[in-house]
Structure 1
Amino acid sequence: MTETDISSSELKKEIRRKMLALRRALSDDEAEKKADRLTEQILSLPEYQKAKRIMAFLAMKGESNLDRLIALALSEGKEVYVPVCLPERQMEAGRLLDMDHFVKGPLGLRDLPKGYDTITPEELDLVLVPGVACDRAGNRLGMGAGYYDRYLSRVPLEKRVAALWDFQVVEAIPSEPFDRKMAKIVTDTGIIVTKRG
């Protein structure tokens, strides 16, 4: 391992530590207001308006919350899918039929009950991606397990949109060959078209 690898990995750890602390510091009231504004920003995206099949995510505490957006998408007749973690750090998209249809997963997370329908990554029209942080070049920092990077390798770049709180957009994130970039970043205060290449 080279010196650059070590510093890149250390920098990612430092950004992760700082961002998770900021997320934990958000009050429920602040998070709810931010979630409403984030929903409005996503609703304004042409990519969202045209999409018939969307992959979203079920937020953990402090994470950018898409519950209201998911409920609206379902009421508009869009198909909504959420990530389901599989062995060997793989992931699939399971269809969510309504906002009450969950089982409690590990760490108190919401999971789909068994028997859900799936869709291939290539069939999705839009993938809303969570993250710990993103930079304006479209580099994304996740929790470090690589589930999304593996999954997004099969999703065209233009369909990948990060959904984050505004403070999670940072100056720069070290990027490695297996990291998947975002085409846009949507936050509670605006939409960033990433400066790629």
Structure 2
Amino acid sequence: MTGICALDAPQGNGMIEAKPNEQAVFDMEKKEIRALMRRQKQALTEDFVADYSRRVTQRFTALPEYERARVLYAYLTFNEEIRTDGLIRRAWADGKRVAVPRVLGKGVMEFYYIDSFDGFITSAFGVPEPPEDPAKLADERDVLLLMPGLAFDRAHNRVGYGGGFYDRYIERGEAAGTVFFKPALAYPFQIVDGIDAQEHDIRVDAVITADEVF
């Protein structure tokens, strides 16, 4: 079970209300965490998302791991996720190659190089994906891999979207000798007290918010 921090949550009419940075729910299964985080993100305004994304991009691109990287495996955002388009443009401007994921089948995901935001296809999940082009298949051995997620704790455990695509991709890559550095971008409310991680769950290597890196 997972504990989420409760910070002075007001209780009125027998109900517990949660502000965007205050989760008053304990012992939640991952499914419940996902539902809570989706609700929190849906309350964000477009202006807030844009400003926060800009600030997180500045902090992310100051990482020494970013400065050293030749290639960035990123992802294309949708809904109220922290925007990655500015980060991707910055990586191109810094002379880095960028690849983004495409789901090829049940449990199978690959990354493909992109050099523009043209020609993307919307997947069944509503996520923009690059075309399947074998000539652009990314197969690096030293990778800065941006990890999506709905919640994180300070031990670097992660609650993803439930498909397990990244866990399997990283396991397969590491078995082939690929070295990954795996940062994640997060809103403050996505940082929780603890996540009941399973043995097969892959941790991130760093979590970046607009105010800190841990």
Q: Judge same fold: TM > 0.5, yes or no.
A: yes
1:93 equivalent to 2:115? Answer no
1:117 is aligned to 136
Aligned 1:140-159 pairs, distance under 5 A: 140-153=158-171, 154-155=173-174, 159=181
- How many residue pairs get matched? 184
1:45-88 alpha-carbon deviations (Å, 9 max, x no partner): 00001100110110111112111010111122200011111212
User: For the Cα contact (< 8 Å) 1:81–1:94, is it kept in 2?
Assistant: yes
Match of 1:161 among 183, 202, 207: 183
Whether 1:174 aligns to 2:196 is yes
- Over 3 Å counting, the alpha-carbon distance change for 1:43 and 1:85 in structure 2 is same
Letter in 2 for 1:170: V
1:134·1:170 contact (CA, 8 Å) conserved in 2?
A: yes
Partner of 2:124: 106
Per the alignment, residue 59 of structure 1 pairs with 77
**Identity score, percent:** 33
What CA RMSD, in Å, does the superposition of the two structures yield over aligned residues? 1.9
- Cα separation, partners in 2 of 1:13 and 1:105, compared to 1, 3 Å: closer
Q: In structure 2, what residue type is equivalent to 1:150?
A: R
In structure 1, runs of 5+ residues without a counterpart are: 193-197
Q: What SS is found at the alignment partner of 1:106?
A: coil
Counterparts of 1:176-191 in structure 2, within 5 Å, are 176-191=198-213
Displacement of 1:166 in angstroms is: 2.1
Partner of 1:36 in structure 2? 54
Matches of 2:119 and 2:212, distance apart in 1: 31
Larger helix proportion, structure 1 or 2?
1
Distance, in Å, in 2 between the alignment partners of 1:140 and 1:32 is 24
Q: Is the 8 A contact 2:52 2:210 kept in 1?
A: yes
Partner residue, 2:34: 16
Q: Structure 2: how far apart are the matches of 1:26 and 1:59?
A: 15
Q: Partner amino acid for 1:117?
A: K
Query: Quick one: structure 1 residues 157 and 137, their matched pair in 2 at CA, closer, same or farther if it must change by over 3 Å?
Result: farther
Whether the aligned pair in 2 keeps the contact of 1:16 and 1:143 (CA below 8 Å) is yes
Task: Give the counterpart letter for 1:49 in structure 2.
Answer: E
- Give, in whole Å, the separation in 1 of the partners of 2:40 and 2:120: 28
Partner of residue 133, structure 1: 151
Q: Name the TM-score, length of structure 2 as normaliser.
A: 0.79
